Amino acid sequence: MNYQSLIGKMTEYMHLSAAELSRWLEKKLPGVLGDDWWKTGVLGKLSYNQQEIVDSNNIRSLVELDLSALLRVTDKNWYSIQNRYFLNQSERTVIQRMFSVRNNWAHASATPPELSNIISDMETIEAFLGFVGVCRENLLEFGRLLYEIKSNGTSDATTDMSKDKSHIANEVVPEAVEIAVNSIVHLVSDRSAVGMVVSIEKVGDTTQYKVFVDGKIREFFEGQIELEKTTDIADFIDISEVQRILTAYQIKKPSVDSLYSLNAARIDFVPYQFRPALKFIKSETPRLLIADSVGVGKTIEAGLLLKEMQARTSLDTVIVICPKPLVAEKKWEIEMKRFDEDFTAVDGKTLRYIISVADRDGEWPEKYKRLIIPYSLLTEDLLIGQNNRRHNISGLYDLDPEPFFDLVIVDEAHHVRNSNTQAHRVVKFFCEHSNAAVFLTATPLQLGNEDLFTLLNLLNPNTVIDKATFNAMAEPNRHINEALHNLRISDHETEALAALHSATATEWGRNVIAHNPVFQQAALALSKGAIPRDQRVKLINDVESLHSFADMITRTRRQDIEDFCVRRAYTLESKFTDRQRELHDELLNFVAAVLSVLHPTISLRFLMCTLRRQAASA
């Protein structure tokens, strides 16, 4: 098959992918988002350009959207769908890879790409078609096409696969073979879940299969499983090879119980600073608000989290947003040097240049993959650009394909607690176009509920959907906090248990907390009376996890970490130069003269006390 014929085939499968994804979304979104799913789950998730297309073409159904728009809708609603239908992260990875596949073949170049790139794209499409539940015939047909390309390539594609193809020669061409006992199969919804059929029986007009998969026997019906591709020859390997494979697997898929950033920076080992990284890697949603007290070390925690992500996945583009004074002081640049990360702080001119290059080349410039942006640059022009007689400058909304950031860090995030500001809108854009986001602030719990809602809604809109949802989630938390307070005091188990039961009396408590095994175990332990100290520590951690925002917020208070963050001040004396002495004396003489006129009845020594200290210190 030549390259032009393959483009035609791939275009057909792009259309098939769009049709199947639209059907998949039509089944999922109404159940997740309710009657208003079109407005909140579709229109509200499209990009600025996509919304214009919908409005101009009067589009009113999913089947009318193109594949790019459907993929975006799926990605933006992923966490809501995932929580309802128990999807896994590997399936989301397929969705994200489909963005690149769609761009590659929607704008296919005249020159054939390397054969390995073609095969990689086709394998992504195959996994995607299995995920959305395309019919068996279409999936087998695409499998045959993929096999043909793997075996013979395309007549005009660049071959970079100089390695031996014996592994392809042994692969069995997919055929419509019946599933039998002892057949090796995989789930249609998750091709990585492979198991063996242990029994088959007829149930009415369909067939039920019992499959040993994921360490247990599960029941599936016809259409839910498919035969796994097999090879003709099984090979035996020795124990050392098994150990190497297991080591490689551990590196490729790191455990959430191990930290890889322990020695990743030139910093002292301070245990509490690893708490955000631990919470982040265990969370289903890579979104976190670090609300530590002042001086605890939020910047260091963000750096450790960055290195932990880098050890586990590709971390290409990282954006830091912070106040302008921190940019001027080079705080983030200096701190990130301790993690061997080189960040570049930008001004308005440089940021406009970056967007223009991204608009021209279709990707974020390599030189600016580690970027520090001050809040002062988060303006409307940054989003929509300028298009007038004097200027024609692209904005973030103009970029096609849209930019994607692996990690966005927002320092002093309370600056965007007002949803009516341009800074809030720009940060929202960055969060919506990022795989992971981290907010740092010392003040959210001192703010009112309205401001905390705005921050959490901006950080994780798929969970904190609206103010009513936030209020329902927040209602039991005061009882959880009361239970924690009593748990930290000996002989207050009865009061702690009463507070936990009060939490379950709320709407969120009845529907969520009461059914949580952690709550049930905690209530049982408290009902038995006095709790030993070692069990009390674990119980406190368990009760903390019942907090409805526990997965979204991590908070370390100064009083919780004793001497770890004590700041000790030392006085260093230095003599004035002649010019400094002259400035010091003239300043104090001038202020003394002004104050003696404005406040003639108040002691001048008292009025000048603070100013004298300030003028004599650095």
Q: For residue 237, what pLDDT is reported?
A: 72
Q: What is the mean pLDDT of residues 544-570?
A: 76
- Do 206 and 351 reside in the same domain of the chain? no
Spatial contact of 347 and 373, defined as CB atoms under 8 Å apart: no
Q: Is residue 196 located within the same domain as residue 343?
A: no
Q: Is residue 115 part of a domain?
A: yes
Q: 67 with 196, same domain?
A: no
Higher-pLDDT residue of 175 and 226 is 226
CA–CA separation, 402 vs 400, rounded Å? 5
In one letter, which amino acid is 20? Answer: E
| 212 and 295 assigned to the same domain | no
Q: Which pLDDT band, with edges at 50, 70 and 90, does 174 fall under?
A: very low
Tokens of 397: 């909304």
Q: Tell me the percentage of the chain whose pLDDT exceeds 90.
A: 32
Mean pLDDT across 491-505:
92
- Per the prediction, the chain carries an average pLDDT of 84
| 245 within some domain | no
Report the C-alpha dihedral over residues 579, 585, 589, 595, rounded to 10 degrees: 110
For the chain, the distance separating the N- and C-terminal CA atoms, rounded to the nearest angstrom, is 75
The answer to whether 187 touches 175, Cβ cutoff 8 Å, is no
**Do 453 and 508 sit in the same domain of this protein?**
no
**Coil vs helix vs strand at 163:** coil
pLDDT digits (tens, 9 = 90+) for 180-212: 888 888 888 778 788 888 888 887 677 888 898
In a domain, 179, yes or no: no
Which residue type does 210 have?
Answer: K
CA atoms within 13 A on the CB side of 616: 12
Number of domains forming the structure of the chain: 5
Say if CB 200 and CB 179 are below 8 A apart: yes
User: Are 500 and 376 in a shared domain?
Assistant: no
pLDDT recorded at residue 87: 74
Cβ neighbours of residue 548 under 8 Å, at least 6 residues apart? 473, 474, 476, 477, 508, 512, 513
The CATH number of the domain holding residue 368 is 3.40.50.10810
Residue 140 has pLDDT above 50, yes or no: yes
Look at residue 262 and tell me if it is in a domain.
no
Please indicate, yes or no, whether residues 140 and 33 belong to a single structural domain of this protein. Answer: yes
Do 219 and 347 sit in the same domain of this protein? no
pTM for the model stands at 0.61
- Digit-coded pLDDT (tens) for 220-249: 878 788 888 755 445 667 787 787 777 776
Band the pLDDT of 114: cuts 50, 70, 90: confident
Tokens in use for 59?
């589009």
Q: What pLDDT does residue 618 have? A: 67
- Residues 529, 491: contact at Cβ < 8 Å? no
Q: Which of 379, 317, 322 minimizes the C-alpha distance to 345?
A: 322
In angstroms, the CA 323 to CA 326 distance is 6
Confidence of residue 501 (pLDDT cuts 50, 70, 90): very high
The 8 Å CB, 24+ separation contacts for 7-15 are 7/105, 7/108, 9/145, 10/105, 10/108, 10/121, 10/122, 10/125, 11/105, 13/125, 13/129, 13/142, 14/67, 14/102, 14/105, 14/106, 15/67
Buried (b) or exposed (e) across 298-315, using 16+ Cβ within 10 A? bbbbbbbbbbbbbbbeeb
Task: Compute the average pLDDT of residues 540-546.
Answer: 90
> For 528-551, b where at least 16 C-beta lie within 10 A, e where not — what string?
eeebeeeebeebbebbbebbbbeb
Q: Which residues contact 159 (CB under 8 A, 6 or more apart)?
A: 114, 115, 153
What is the 8-class DSSP label of residue 212?
A: E
Q: Look at residues 137, 169, 201 and tell me which one is the last residue of a structural domain.
A: 169
Mean pLDDT, to the nearest integer, of 574-581? 89
167: tokens are 């592994």
Q: Is the residue at 93 inside a domain? A: yes
For residues 128 and 96, the answer to whether their CB atoms sit within 8 Å is: no
DSSP letter assigned to residue 29: H
Give one word for 547, left, alpha or beta, with left for phi > 0 and alpha for psi -120 to 50.
Answer: beta
Higher pLDDT, 253 or 270: 270
Contact criterion met (CB below 8 Å) for 208 and 179: no
Q: What local confidence, expressed as pLDDT, does residue 568 receive? A: 65
Does residue 361 share a domain with residue 328? yes
Residues 164 and 203 in one domain: no
> How much is the pLDDT for 412?
93
249 within some domain: no
- Pick the last residue of a domain from 443, 464, 485: 464
Q: Are strands 553-554 and 287-290 parallel, antiparallel or unpaired?
A: parallel
Does the structure show a pLDDT above 80 at 569?
Answer: no
Only one residue has tokens 């009112």, namely 448
Beta-carbon contacts of residue 96 (< 8 Å; ≥ 6 apart): 75, 435
Q: Tell whether 564 is covered by a domain.
A: no
Which pLDDT tens digit goes with each residue over 432-474? 888 899 999 987 554 457 888 999 999 988 888 888 889 999 9
What residue type is assigned to position 609 of the chain? C
Indicate whether 329 belongs to any domain: yes
> Is residue 36 packed enough to be buried (19+ CB in 10 Å), middle (13-18) or exposed (0-12)?
exposed
What was the pLDDT predicted at 563? 58
Residue 261 has pLDDT above 80, yes or no: no
Q: Are residues 438 and 343 in the same domain?
A: yes
Q: Which residue has the higher pLDDT, 191 or 17?
A: 17
pLDDT at position 250 is: 66
- Are 9 and 136 found together in one domain? yes
Percentage of residues of the chain with pLDDT beyond 70: 89
End residue of a domain, out of 464, 485, 506: 464
Give the domain range for residue 200.
184-227
For residues 591-608, average pLDDT: 90
How would you label 337-365 residue by residue, b for 16+ Cβ within 10 Å and e otherwise? Answer: eebebebebbeeeebbebbbbbbeeeebb
